[in-house]
Amino acid sequence: MKNVSALVAGMLFGAGLVIAGMTNPAKVLAFLTLGAGWDATLIFVLGAAVIVAATGYALVGRRASPLFDDEFHAPASTVIDARLIGGAALFGVGWGLSGFCPGPAIVGALTLDIRAVVFLIAFVVGVLAYERLLAPPVATRVDG
């Protein structure tokens, strides 16, 4: 059931990204580029997603455990450090250069958008480079 549940979650997420227009990097760049012609619609994407997720998380949080696992795995760290800020800043640079973030890049690549294919291959190279060169010991790693 874990795999089916993850497949369903991925499908909802992928469909949502396409319907929201997030898989079109020109639309994302039109949101990130301030000035004349600014496209504010992505605020509604993020706003709707946050309202639904915040409501759902609050309801699910009343449960003792998830449906198909023994415990919840939400990250517990509250540390705001140079890795968090530096990583977010680097991500912002790449996002602002391309209009692609990981979710839309995966959806785009799997629906054969050549731009997303190129971006995603480079993304994987970046992830592997991080794992080889920059990753902290496994015990201290925190995923958000």
Q: Which of residues 40-59 bind other proteins (CB under 8 A)?
A: 41-42, 44-57
Residues touching other proteins: how many (CB under 8 A)? 111
Closer residue to other proteins, CB minimum distance, 79 or 139: 79
Q: Shortest approach of other proteins to residue 18 CB, angstroms?
A: 4
Q: Which residues contact 5 (CB under 8 A, 6 or more apart)?
A: 67, 68
- Cα dihedral 110/26/17/69 (nearest 10): 70
Q: Please report whether residue 138 would count as binding other proteins according to CB under 8 A.
A: no
Question: Looking at residue 36, what DSSP letter applies?
Answer: T
Q: Shortest approach of other proteins to residue 136 CB, angstroms?
A: 10
Question: Residues 98, 119: contact at Cβ < 8 Å?
Answer: yes
Residues numbered 9-38 forming contacts with other proteins, rule: CB under 8 A: 9-24, 29, 32-35
C-alpha 140: how far from chain center:
22
Q: Is the dihedral of CA 114, 119, 124, 128 positive or negative?
A: positive
Question: Looking at residue 138, what DSSP letter applies?
Answer: G
Of the candidate residues 7, 138, 139, 140, the single one contacting other proteins (CB under 8 A): 7
Question: Looking at residue 12, what DSSP letter applies?
Answer: H
Q: Shortest approach of other proteins to residue 139 CB, angstroms?
A: 15
Residues numbered 70-109 forming contacts with other proteins, rule: CB under 8 A: 71-75, 77-80, 83-103, 105-108
Q: Shortest approach of other proteins to residue 24 CB, angstroms?
A: 7
